[in-house]
Structure 1
Amino acid sequence: MRPVLGYFGPAGTFTHQALRSITDDEAIAFASVREALDAVRAGEVRGAVVPIENSVEGGVSATLDELIAGSPLAIRGEIVIPVEFGLYARPGTELDEVRQVLTHGHAAAQCREWLATTVPSAQVTEAGSTAGAAAEVARPDSRYDAAVCARVAGQLYGLDELAYQIEDNPGAVTRFVEVGVAGPVPPRTGADKTTLVAYMRVDHAGALLEILEQFAVRGVNLSRIESRPTKTTLGSYCFSIDVEGHLHDKRVEEALEGLHRICPTVHFLGSYPRADRARPVVGHGFSDAEFDDAAAWVRSLG
């Protein structure tokens, strides 16, 4: 296994920016989330940074699906960065000269109002990535006048910043995860998150409620839940879930035991420190000490 990280590239994307927030070491860019995660499975890299959730667009379906598509992987950490876009052009280009804009579809959607208001006559074309858009605009013979991209991409390709923070939803963030091969769970910090995927045994009235009850009755809060198609039959779904807490918290451990009893399959995708280091609010009756006390009381009855 190479002692380097991989990431969903190319260089200059928000994923690259997230990677650089945790290391300045050599890293390998991959053209897709699937290729990045397959490289982890194959031992080509020791881990990979990929996007998993955006506060505006929601979950990143490619990552949610690919995490369970092959041999087991585990999330080792998360990174949250602000989603801030700028309009970048070749040196000498003025804002009122912009007629052709190139960017990724998600960036176009998140900057739609600003573009329509500020450069209303500009045609927006979608590219494979915001960094790729910046690279294209940097070419002297490019037919595109400007790219909507992250500042890191604009700087990487020597473009001028015509405007910054042009996103329509200030405060938007994207969450990334560092993924490695499955192994021992890191020690809990008290400010942890656990990710898993649960499958329904039979589709019936209350099937999702049965899954949710395993968390509710043990005081485990969910920070994300999304349905994903199982890719078997139409209408068959599994649920990708983030919970507040660590596998070794008694309330989380018992919730997973409950899921194992009622679900045909549960993929455990890791317990890891939260990026915001926020500690969950644990209600009365759900601390480890209270679980231990209750178990001791039951044993004393016999």
Structure 2
Amino acid sequence: MAGINLTNSVPSTFILIGIPGLEAEHLWISIPFSMFYLIGILGNFMLLFVVGKDQTLHKPMYLLLCMLALTDIGTTTSIMPKALFIFWFNLKIITVGGCLTQMFFLHSVSIMHSAVLMAMAFDRYVAICNPLRYATILTNARIAILGLVCLLRAVLLALPLPMLLSRQPFCANRIISHTHCEHIAVVKMSCADTTVNRTYGLMMAFVVMGSDLTLIALSYSLITRAVLRISSKTAHQKALNTCTAHICVMLTSYTSVLFTTLTHRFGQGIAPHIHIILADLSFLVPPMLNPIIYGVKTKELRDKVVKYTCRR
């Protein structure tokens, strides 16, 4: 009732309650969440620092890796500060404008993240299938243009989400059972017909991930065909090793996002707090693991990290 009275008195706000049913455990839940967030931020900033510092790493592969790191930082930073304020200080109020802004940044960065993974698959395809033309096909200037195109696509696809919702009337009880302004959770607050909002949100999720995953699958099918034609076992192993890190990153990213997207819309039998915890972890775990995966699997990057972190 207190939450309902507050929303009636301040009609331009929502209330994010965090993880419903586990309010008493918010402080304990914040410990692993904050650790994952801190590790992810430090790891990705370290990657950006090392690549920016070392001229020998100013190559298309590492520039794409920097884009991935930026999207990882943007994804977690879009949701975690507010979530931690809820867990630590019980600061649950968020303005409608702030909520829609958070939604826009979260979804635009997520779309950008998917596009970067697709671009990295194309990078691996050119490196393995056309190694002699790699330097002419993928220049740093073209990578920069590709990054701008991915950013423009992300903005154009994500912008209708908050714009459509901004025209919706919201009910008096504006309590969102989530740690952040997830699109479908905000849609449920509307008192009007939300068919267009729900359809566009679902269509965007499947079109973005569907098109990107299709192109990634096409790239790796061509890579697999090229690798199978290599007679030398050493060259065969070397070619596969160049793709290992990217495959691991894709598995951690797409598996968690697809699972939470499908369960949130179709898994009515799953408890709400499980939905929310899985959704938060899908935004926290991949950004934490990505720099670790590339640091372990990419020898050149690993050597540079050791050089800059261990020198006096």
TM-score, normalised with respect to structure 2:
0.22
More strand by share: 1
Pick the structure with greater CA Rg.
1
Structure (1 or 2) with the greater helix fraction: 2
Q: TM-score, normalized by length of structure 1?
A: 0.23
Q: Which has the higher contact order (CA 8 A, sep 6+)?
A: 2
